[in-house]
Amino acid sequence: MTDPKESLGKVRERIDSIDRQIQELISERANWAQEVARVKGEGLSAIDYYRPEREAHVLRMVVDRNKGPLSDGEMVRLFREIMSSCLAQEDPLKVGFLGPEGTFSEQAVRKHFGHAAYGLPLGSIEEVFQEVAAGHADFGVVPVENSGQGMIQVTLDMFLTSEARVCGEVELRVHQCLLSRAAALGEIRRVFAHAQSLQQCKTWLRINLPDVECVAVSSNAEAARLARHADDAAAIAGRTAGKVYGLKPLAEGIEDRADNTTRFLVIGRSLFPPSGNDRTSLLITVNDKPGALYDVLSPFAKHGVSMNRIESRPAHTGKWQYAFFIDVSGHIDDAPLQAALGDMGPVATQVRVLGSYPVALP
């Protein structure tokens, strides 16, 4: 048997040598990023080099290559940060979001742009649109959909009156688990969770734990902390909290909507080329007459363009007009989507391409 101290020393030597290589490669990568800047022209800012389609492509390759032991999410996070640092050698990207700092929106900014971008906390979703339009922010990140509450209307309405383009989407996912020291559901008498989480898991709780006492506490982390001291208690929280507090997941994915996600849009001022796996957001205005919706949707079906979302809003352009926000698969440069829009005909009084952008990474 080898001496643990000796083998620890050897492992550390090995890690040191790996770190040396990683560092050399990161420096080389940063030099090549400067070379991209040189090719594109002098005196430009990060916004001039930033290519969401290229970043999405790089990150997809990272996921494809990943054989562990790090999770796809962790590996993508590390490459996002490496790209963020390389890009920020020029003036960093300015990204507006609904402040203050530390909100879910800032998490979305960091997930998408990394920590080397310059975050601009703003007072409202409207202000995010305004600052992007005025060029004070290069991009903005705004929430557009919460799987609990549905579409966020103020964000959709901003597209009716602004020229903003959609340049990306970010998804933050929360999977709720029932965590406990207990071995089986039958032993649970109390469930601790933040009020919002109790709400999100209402149906599951009614069916699976009809007689337990539900106790709202200040956070799910607090809930897990309380549950760790009782054999008859459980907490609703994320998987990580279970690992952290030494609680077993008795059930996973217990939120009523299987997919408890907040979706954000990255807004900017331009359209970007295809990344290979894209989505397109359209704003289509129609006159309110029988069959209008059918007439708008049938060209997509005809040309095999699959729709991901549709949401209608009263248009600001005229009485009895409706605006449909439609998300479809593919890039606006793709032939089927071009054909579908070509077939839209006179029913649509306006067709605006809000943007074509890479589908969100996990």
Segment 79 to 118, residues that bind a second copy, using CB under 8 A = 79, 81-82, 85-86, 88-89, 91-92, 94, 100-103, 106, 115-116, 118
Give the contact letters, 60-79, x = binds to a second copy (CB under 8 A), - = no.
-xx--xxxxxx---xx-xxx
Question: What letters, b where the CB count within 10 A reaches 16 and e where it falls short, cover 108-122?
Answer: bbbbbbbebbbbbbb
In the complex, minimum distance from the CB of residue 266 to a second copy, in angstroms, rounded to a whole number:
18
Give the contact letters, 330-349, x = binds to a second copy (CB under 8 A), - = no.
--------------------
Our CB check for a second copy shows the closer of 81 and 126 to be 81
Site for a second copy in 257-296 (CB under 8 A): none
Reduced DSSP (H G I as helix, E B as strand, rest coil) percent helix, strand, coil of the chain, to 5: 40, 25, 30
How many Cβ atoms from other residues are within 10 Å of residue 282's Cβ?
26
- Angle (nearest 5°) at CA 145 between 265 and 122: 55
44: contact with a second copy by CB under 8 A: no
Site for a second copy in 218-247 (CB under 8 A): 219, 221, 225, 240-241, 243-244, 246
Beta-bridge partner residues of 180: 234, 248
* Helix boundaries (H) for the chain: 4-40, 46-49, 52-65, 72-87, 104-113, 125-133, 153-161, 195-200, 202-208, 220-227, 239-245, 292-302, 335-342
196: contact with a second copy by CB under 8 A: no
In the complex, minimum distance from the CB of residue 205 to a second copy, in angstroms, rounded to a whole number:
25
Cα–Cα distance, 249 to 235 (Å, whole number): 9
**Residue 71 is encoded by which pair of tokens?**
């999770």
Site for a second copy in 20-39 (CB under 8 A): 20-23, 25-36, 39
Our CB check for a second copy shows the closer of 128 and 241 to be 241
Stretch that binds a second copy, among 59-67, 258-266, 272-280, 324-332 (CB under 8 A): 59-67
Alpha carbon 117 to its chain's center: 17
In the complex, minimum distance from the CB of residue 89 to a second copy, in angstroms, rounded to a whole number:
6
Site for a second copy in 110-169 (CB under 8 A): 115-116, 118, 120-121, 136
